[in-house]
Structure 1
Amino acid sequence: MGAAEATDVESEYSSLVDFEGPDDPSHPFNWSLPRRVWTTAVVAVLNLIGTAASSIFETGNGQFMKEFGISHEVAVLGTSLFLAGYILGFLTFGPLSERFGRKWPLLCGLAVSSLFDLMPALGHSLPAILIGRFFGGLFGVAPVAVFGGVLSDCWPTAQRGIAMALTVSLVFSGPTWGPVFGGFIMGSSALDWRWNMWVVIIAGLSATALCVVVFPETYPPAILRRKARRLRKKTGDESIRTASDKEGLSLQEITRVYLIRPFWLFTTQPILALLTLYQSFVYGVLFLFYQTYPVAFGTNRGWATSLEYLPLLAIIVGIFVAAIGIVIHNQLYFRHHCHTPDGVFIPESRLPPMIVGGILVPIGMFWFAWTATPAVAWASPICASVVIGAGMYLLFIQGFNYIVDCYTTMANSAMGVNGSMRSIFGTVFPLFATQMVHALGVARTTTILGALSAALVPVPICFWYWGDRIRAWSSAKVATF
């Protein structure tokens, strides 16, 4: 750019709007504690609605198969295609939230997802139902893709760990709540499988309508753009702009930043690749469990339809117990040991709970496998499920935090490809879950999965010992992109 062009640009944006110092009450960091807690709670509930929709369809597969005369493999597509939509959704709504703010991508995504859910709720054509499920997932991932940004907007680093721990506990337990709710719906003689969708539609549209009024915008550049619009309208000065108004991405830059960079990171960064594959495997196992538990407690133990999914609540209990553990860990250990004497942040200080989680998952799986038989009291496999839930949560929450800490400037891209890869595993695992469980039995299936989980335990341990060296190499590689 020549000197004359630079002068023109500076003149065009001579009246830049910014926050009035670090204590500006309009900045989300300076909102009152109740308002920030409210905002965090709302985004957590929206995530609960969105993620429960991913798995609730599964509980009606029996009636779905009879109505359309299809095989179980086809019926499972109702879950798998929803998660396939997540793959593209993660790469779409994260970037949208960085350009247009958090509120409207989040709410529009949930609303459009609920409208697409009308296709399986009302449809009498199999293609229409499956297409509706795919687009329901594509738009329904919006709360999951955006919630991390909302938390980073509202909470300073020192407090973000606690907010993240409690919010992720709801986000991660959402897919498990789906079959629990669906089990009660399918246990009612007055309701059919379509009511699984109606519940999601009613909850999604009601929450969206309410949040249009009560949910605030949290993205600081979006808040400043709104402030600039008010000032332009009040003063008539069209030169009033914000720093973000100066930004403009060409098609080439959008392709590079939002489409190429996430997968470039995945193929060149061992930390991101290994943690993503680890978390993706665990995520796939979680969706496989949604077909294992009805066999273990319904078919094998003879429990009623409304009760056979109820043991999944034990996984949710484990998640919330682990969330409390993370809060305690953050307060008593992490904040005192996360910096070197020179004040340099140490991302590896996130890893001890993740290592514990990695050990708990195979322990819980082996325990479940060896006690998931009518000869053993039902309380034993349910206690094992608590251990599994706690271990999975620790793997996810600390894995997310570690990835963000390692790729701060590219965290959005790193988490986007992480979410897409997890969705691929969540899409594929249900496709073979029933065949695997019926061919091998609950015990052998869970034992195999436990053995694979045990083989992955060294991943966070290796990063604990050699993470600083790997990060040094990775940082040099990232700088070249």
Structure 2
Amino acid sequence: MADSRQLSPTSTLHDDRDQRQHASSALEKVDLAEKGSAVPYDGAGTAESPYIVKFLDGEQANPQNWTKTKKWTITANSAISTLCIAFGSSVVSAAIPELTTVFGKDLTVLTLSVSLYVLGFALGPLLWAPFSEQWGRRPIFIITYALFAIFNIPCAVAKNVETLLVCRFLAGFFGSSPLTNSGGVISDMFSASERALAVSLYAAAPFAGPVIGPIVGGFVIMNTSWHWIFWILTIFSFVMLFSGALNPETYAPVLLRRRAAALQKETGKVYRSMYDLHPMFAAPFAVKMKAALLRPFLLLIKEPICSLFALYTSAVYGMLYCFFGAFPLVFEYARGWSPGISGLAFIPVGLGMVGAIVANVFDNKRYVRKLIAGGGVPLAPEERLPLCCVAGVVLPLGLFAFAWTTLPHVHWIASMIFSVFFGFSMVAIFLTMLTYLVDAYLLMAASALAANAVLRSLLGFAFPLFTRQMFNKMGNQWALTFLAFLALVMAPIPFIFYIYGPKIRARSTFAPQHKPAAPAAAAPPTASVNVSRTVTRTFTREEIEREEVAMMDLRQTESRREEAETLRKEGIDVDA
């Protein structure tokens, strides 16, 4: 009979000692079940009491138990797939002046080739994230990435600006899938204490891609026609499509649902995935879609944590896309550099991003040491914010210095040095915000991140449309100074949450894991008939959200247990 721990949608039953006493290995247990012998799952195999299918202790089919080589190969694959999408957003920027002549349209219209692509980033994840949770990460990746690659082809052969703009939007819309789902792949495989470096690698891709794009695009436009910018993107996207298609499915609810269906077909007995016992997973797809589409906007409206951090990261993200229009003005026109050499000015920004990733890894070590020093007692989410506070101060200072070292009589190396600080601050703010939202919202973190992604992409869509006009009216130095003042105004945001975050979360209705557990968290101790009702009943969106709230404390406890087990394997006793 399943206990409350086994009914958790987040548990992989690492401490299922009774099962370890009755079989030599988890794989042997599964083989016995498939042959109709002793079944390793709780239940009677009937409609009233189905066998509850779960990952067994040490089972290699569980993505959490895959080898490090396999995990990091998949992580690298996912990160580069994401980088390819982000690369596509900016590679066309170098060709915009030429495209104005080719299509006979003004600069603002052709800038839409960047803006509409980024607008697709805002809308696509609202569909692809819940789709992946319904049918799995792999099929959604293959379908959407294939369409992304295909829609790059009409861009390369476009005869009019309408074809170019429509296909750019569709490419961004379908290509946005890895922007959210690759993060899910990483969380599927790595425990909380292991995923800092993996998340850093993945999270840097949406920023590294736009930095590489102008460099490649600049040299392409110098040596060949604008068509080759899109052909290179098409080739890159098809390579990553075939590479990403080699990744196995990682989403545990889908894997266990498939196993349950296969065992039921083979044996004639009734099997149910342990995840399908919980309304968050068992509810009708239409109900889950409604919750997935509405909740990000509710978080933006009702949650100051989500709204302020979304505003902050969105402004920083918008500044990055603003730089695509600003760098040609600063280096190509003011200093007389060629398009290719002007694109190289983005290299220091990329170096700053690498520095932020390294700093985040070291900051995570500080976090783990503090966790150990506290005897494994969970740390407040605000412990993720010190690096964000540092970046919040560095960003306006770096922008101010960059603005006034772009004067033609100042050596170019000075502006290159200060652009490093922009790259560092941008990625550091994003990484720490990502981990803070995950820690604060746990099971609702996907919605919090979706809310952030929507607003961030909308500003990424808007900023390029007025960049040229702003720099032409204000001048290069004062336009950049305006961006620095904008960063300065928002710099207190991480400090506010670092100091007052616990009080703000205490009033939250969506971050309840830091409050006493709701009564509904306790699972019924008996009555297998109740399991059947849970499997077959239709749940409303409100019930799903209430159940998610009830599971928050259990999820946090199990995440801490995973961290503690990993630390013990490394020879660190967290109970000491």
Give the TM-score, by structure 2 length: 0.78
Whole-Å separation in 2 of the counterparts to 1:418 and 1:9: 44
Instruction: Rate the CA distance shift 1:387–1:140 in 2: closer, same or farther, 3 A.
Output: same
Q: SS state of the match for residue 309, structure 1?
A: helix
- Please show how residues 377-416 of structure 1 align to structure 2 within 5 Å: 377-416=411-450
User: What amino acid is aligned across from residue 104 of structure 2 in structure 1?
Assistant: G
Equivalent of residue 64 in structure 1, options 90, 99, 116: 99
Q: SS state of the match for residue 16, structure 1?
A: strand
Residue 244 of structure 1 deviates from its aligned partner by: 4.4
Q: Which residue of 2 aligns with 1:127?
A: 162
Residue 318 of structure 1 deviates from its aligned partner by: 0.3
Deviations 1:267-296, CA, capped at 9 Å, x for gaps: 111011000000000000100001111111
Whole-Å separation in 2 of the counterparts to 1:285 and 1:232: 54
Matched, 1:334 2:367: yes
Equivalent of residue 16 in structure 1, options 52, 68, 86: 52
* 1:144–1:171 contact (8 Å) kept in structure 2: yes
Equivalent of residue 275 in structure 1, options 309, 323, 326: 309
Whole-Å separation in 2 of the counterparts to 1:196 and 1:345: 48
Q: Which residue of 1 aligns with 2:251?
A: 219
Instruction: Rate the CA distance shift 1:166–1:15 in 2: closer, same or farther, 3 A.
Output: same
Residue 126 of structure 1 deviates from its aligned partner by: 1.9
* 1:123–1:129 contact (8 Å) kept in structure 2: yes
* 1:13–1:241 contact (8 Å) kept in structure 2: no
User: What amino acid is aligned across from residue 291 of structure 1 in structure 2?
Assistant: G
Whole-Å separation in 2 of the counterparts to 1:238 and 1:228: 10
Q: Which residue of 2 aligns with 1:180?
A: 215
* 2:153–2:234 contact (8 Å) kept in structure 1: yes
Whole-Å separation in 1 of the counterparts to 2:511 and 2:195: 28
Instruction: Rate the CA distance shift 1:13–1:258 in 2: closer, same or farther, 3 A.
Output: farther
Equivalent of residue 239 in structure 2, options 199, 206, 218: 206
Equivalent of residue 315 in structure 1, options 349, 363, 367: 349
Residue 237 of structure 1 deviates from its aligned partner by: 2.7
Instruction: Rate the CA distance shift 1:325–1:342 in 2: closer, same or farther, 3 A.
Output: closer
Instruction: Rate the CA distance shift 1:249–1:291 in 2: closer, same or farther, 3 A.
Output: same
Whole-Å separation in 2 of the counterparts to 1:476 and 1:81: 32
Q: Which residue of 2 aligns with 1:290?
A: 324
Matched, 1:96 2:131: yes
Residue 169 of structure 1 deviates from its aligned partner by: 2.2
User: What amino acid is aligned across from residue 211 of structure 1 in structure 2?
Assistant: G
Q: SS state of the match for residue 248, structure 2?
A: coil
Whole-Å separation in 1 of the counterparts to 2:145 and 2:389: 34
Equivalent of residue 32 in structure 1, options 60, 67, 81: 67
User: What amino acid is aligned across from residue 187 of structure 2 in structure 1?
Assistant: S
Give the TM-score, by structure 1 length: 0.93
- Please show how residues 99-248 of structure 1 align to structure 2 within 5 Å: 99-188=134-223, 191-212=224-245, 214-232=246-264, 235-237=266-268, 239-244=270-275, 247-248=281-282
* 1:117–1:132 contact (8 Å) kept in structure 2: yes
Gaps of 5+ in 2: 1-42, 513-517, 519-541, 546-576
Instruction: Rate the CA distance shift 1:476–1:287 in 2: closer, same or farther, 3 A.
Output: closer
Residue 12 of structure 1 deviates from its aligned partner by: 6.6
User: What amino acid is aligned across from residue 86 of structure 1 in structure 2?
Assistant: F
Residue 306 of structure 1 deviates from its aligned partner by: 1.1
Residue 229 of structure 1 deviates from its aligned partner by: 4.6
Deviations 1:8-39, CA, capped at 9 Å, x for gaps: 99617713322112x21111111111111111
Q: SS state of the match for residue 193, structure 2?
A: helix
Please provide the CA RMSD for this pair: 2.1
Q: SS state of the match for residue 187, structure 1?
A: helix
* 1:91–1:417 contact (8 Å) kept in structure 2: no
User: What amino acid is aligned across from residue 242 of structure 1 in structure 2?
Assistant: S
Whole-Å separation in 1 of the counterparts to 2:165 and 2:469: 21
Q: Which residue of 2 aligns with 1:87?
A: 122
Residue 230 of structure 1 deviates from its aligned partner by: 4.3
* 1:78–1:130 contact (8 Å) kept in structure 2: yes
User: What amino acid is aligned across from residue 407 of structure 1 in structure 2?
Assistant: Y
Q: SS state of the match for residue 474, structure 1?
A: coil
Share of identical aligned residues, percent? 32
User: What amino acid is aligned across from residue 354 of structure 1 in structure 2?
Assistant: C
Equivalent pairs, count: 469
